[in-house]
Amino acid sequence: MTAPVSAPLRRDMRNKMIGGVCAGIARRYNLSVTGLRLAFVISTILPGPQILAYVLLWVLIPADDRP
């Protein structure tokens, strides 16, 4: 039995709202995009570097240039 093949971590440019970071992470780990976006927005209420982390991921994760 073989392990399922997962998509590489890339920013999803087709389903993006801002930078495609949440959509790319959701696709990579087979999560709900809406749930992940909601969790991120709720987490911004808490103290911490969430916005900075998003910007860093936006810069560091390559864009998915598939059509």
Beta-carbon contacts of residue 63 (< 8 Å; ≥ 6 apart): 10, 11, 13, 20
- Write down the pLDDT at residue 5: 64
Structure tokens at 8: 């590489």
Tens of pLDDT, residues 6-62: 778 999 999 889 999 999 999 999 999 999 999 999 999 999 999 999 999 999 999
Phi and psi torsions of 63, nearest 5°: -75, 145
Out of 2-6, 57-61, 63-67, least confident range:
2-6
